[in-house]
Amino acid sequence: MEKLWGGRFELPPHALMEELGASVAFDARLAPWDIRASIAHARMLGNCNIISGQDSKDIIAGLEKILLQVQEKEITWSSALEDVHGNIEAILTADIGEAGKKLHTARSRNDQIATDVRLWARDQTDAILSLLTRIQKSIVDFAETHIEVALPGYTHLQPAQPVLLAHHVLAYFEMFKRDRERFSELRKRINIMPLGSAALAGTPHPINREQVAQELGFDALSANSMDAVSDRDYLIEFCAACAMTMMHLSRWSEELILWNSPAFGFIEIGDAFTTGSSIMPQKKNPDAAELIRGKTSRVYADLAALLTLMKGIPLTYNRDLQEDKEVVFHASDTVQLSLAVFAEMLPTLRVNTPQMTHALTQGFMAATDLADYLTTRDIPFREAHHIVGEIVQYCIKKKTTLEALSLKTLQQLCPAIEESVFHALTIETLLARRNQPGSTAPERVKSALKTARKMVYTVREDT
């Protein structure tokens, strides 16, 4: 098959060279963006009289036809034609004849691929933004449904202090809010048009870059042709943002896996997102959460691969850059699937409120507040801390809980304690007293929830 660049060569490439160089098996998915960019380019070439109006029209009609064929999955891609660009140009020329050979005037595959990937990445960013909104909506709904439920909050995976379940899940709402900010921010740097940089130095043809940028919805033109054809910073940022979102999903997965284990018994994940065991009939395993946690590692690897790919690239385009595609495709696909799965899985969680309530009686969760109570009896905090430590040790020895101690016993351990201690140490009091902005008091959580609901139900999904 005729190469795009065959003229300079006497011999065809080695079969292994073809195998090494072919990218169409993975870059064919860029076809819709490649064709849209080519249509804009062909229109501009016609408008600027670089090619005739008739050729421009024929090319556009031919490309539109190919776009339909791509959508109908009617194209057989040929790896002998290397990449998506070579394939589309060959199909076009076979269909419309000589005019097809004029499409590549005033451009190179270097600015073409950079343009395609930016258009692709912009659409993926928008899709991820809308999935982040979707998961945030799931969180808000979940938090509202369980607004009365409290459970232990943990540090070091040791029971620490009581929190509302809604407060706990709203922590993830905040993480996804920051993820949204990151994707919105990097979208600005994606949406810059490299086309018109040609191979590296620009083109002598009297092109109109503004027209093409406008048709393709780019915010600005790249300012330096050499940077434009070899910059992949925006993909690194994109992968980093994907890695961060996966890290958030993975942390939450880890937690759901623990909570779903009979050892915790806090939740049961719905059947639709669990699987059974081929040998142990009783098993119901939290595979969705485990897979998301597992896939996170590979998205981290994508980021590491891109950073490493770029560190030795002299200006400008080098063929190494072809290796960026599978990496970003994987990161993007994985984060989108994982977000969608998580958003659907959340409403299937059955919360075991009695088990959470029971857990609140374990682990001396009122200890901090008992120390705080003693400070109101004029005992310095450091001393109060020590006294409560001794009371806890007493409970451990007697195999009992703080709440179960009688006033008499408490007073033997610390004479400053009075009847009022019992009110001070109820879960309701512990929660209600943490009433600073950002804390777990029901009043605060309800207002945080209101803010979250407003944010997520009024936001434009792609911003």
Residues assigned a catalytic role:
156, 277
* Nearer to ligand ARG (CB atom), residue 245 or residue 322: 322
Reference 42, options 71, 63, 67, 69; nearest CA is 63
* 56 Cβ contact list (under 8 Å, min separation 6): 42, 43, 45, 46, 47
User: How far, in whole angstroms, is CA 374 from its chain's centroid?
Assistant: 46
| Cβ count within 10 A of residue 201 | 12
**In angstroms, what is the minimal distance from the CB of 124 to ligand ARG?**
17
Q: Which of 93, 110, 133, 203 touches ligand ARG by CB under 6 A?
A: 110
E strand or H helix at 165, and its extent? Answer: helix 165-190
Query: Is-contact 210 237, C-beta < 8 A?
Result: no
* Nearer to ligand ARG (CB atom), residue 148 or residue 320: 320
Q: Which residue stretch of 317-325, 371-379, 387-395, 446-454 sits at the interface with ligand ARG (rule: CB under 6 A)? A: 317-325
Identify the burial level of 155 via C-beta atoms within 10 angstroms of its C-beta, where 0-12 means exposed, 13-18 middle and 19 or more buried.
exposed
**In angstroms, what is the minimal distance from the CB of 228 to ligand ARG?**
13
- For ligand ARG (CB under 6 A), the number of binding residues is 11
Q: Which residue stretch of 57-65, 123-131, 169-177, 319-327 sits at the interface with ligand ARG (rule: CB under 6 A)? A: 319-327
60-99 residues in contact with ligand ARG (CB under 6 A) are 83
Q: Which of 274, 322, 334, 440 touches ligand ARG by CB under 6 A?
A: 322
Query: Is-contact 28 325, C-beta < 8 A?
Result: no
Q: Is 345 in the site for ligand ARG (CB under 6 A)?
A: no
Torsion (CA) 361, 364, 368, 369 in degrees, nearest 10? 40
Amino acid code (one letter) for 113: I
CA-CA distances (angstroms) from residue 325 to 77, 78, 119, 147, 322?
A: 17, 18, 13, 44, 6
**In angstroms, what is the minimal distance from the CB of 285 to ligand ARG?**
40
**In angstroms, what is the minimal distance from the CB of 279 to ligand ARG?**
46
* Nearer to ligand ARG (CB atom), residue 28 or residue 351: 28
Q: Is 133 in the site for ligand ARG (CB under 6 A)?
A: no
Amino acid code (one letter) for 284: K
Query: Is-contact 187 263, C-beta < 8 A?
Result: no
* Nearer to ligand ARG (CB atom), residue 110 or residue 352: 110
**In angstroms, what is the minimal distance from the CB of 299 to ligand ARG?**
21
* Nearer to ligand ARG (CB atom), residue 6 or residue 389: 6
**In angstroms, what is the minimal distance from the CB of 4 to ligand ARG?**
9
3-state secondary structure labels for all residues of 83-97: CHHHHHHHHHHHHHH
21-50 residues in contact with ligand ARG (CB under 6 A) are 23, 27
* Nearer to ligand ARG (CB atom), residue 120 or residue 252: 120
User: How far, in whole angstroms, is CA 205 from its chain's centroid?
Assistant: 41
The 10 Å CB-count burial string (b at 16+, else e) for 26-57 is: ebbbbbbbbbbbbbbbbbbbbeeebbeeebbe
Reference 295, options 328, 334, 257, 327; nearest CA is 334
Q: Which of 41, 109, 118, 209 touches ligand ARG by CB under 6 A?
A: 109
Q: Which residue stretch of 220-228, 321-329, 334-342, 368-376 sits at the interface with ligand ARG (rule: CB under 6 A)? A: 321-329
| Cβ count within 10 A of residue 172 | 21
DSSP class of residue 316? S
* Nearer to ligand ARG (CB atom), residue 321 or residue 441: 321
**In angstroms, what is the minimal distance from the CB of 302 to ligand ARG?**
16
Q: Which residue stretch of 125-133, 305-313, 316-324, 343-351 sits at the interface with ligand ARG (rule: CB under 6 A)? A: 316-324
Q: Which residue stretch of 284-292, 313-321, 335-343, 429-437 sits at the interface with ligand ARG (rule: CB under 6 A)? A: 313-321
Query: Is-contact 155 434, C-beta < 8 A?
Result: no
**In angstroms, what is the minimal distance from the CB of 319 to ligand ARG?**
6
Q: Which of 8, 319, 397, 399 touches ligand ARG by CB under 6 A?
A: 319
Q: Which residue stretch of 48-56, 105-113, 336-344, 359-367 sits at the interface with ligand ARG (rule: CB under 6 A)? A: 105-113
First vs last Cα of the chain: how many Å apart?
45
User: How far, in whole angstroms, is CA 448 from its chain's centroid?
Assistant: 23
**In angstroms, what is the minimal distance from the CB of 109 to ligand ARG?**
4
144-183 residues in contact with ligand ARG (CB under 6 A) are none
Kindly list the residues in this chain that would bind ligand ARG in the complex (CB under 6 A).
23, 27, 83, 109-110, 113, 317, 319, 321-322, 325
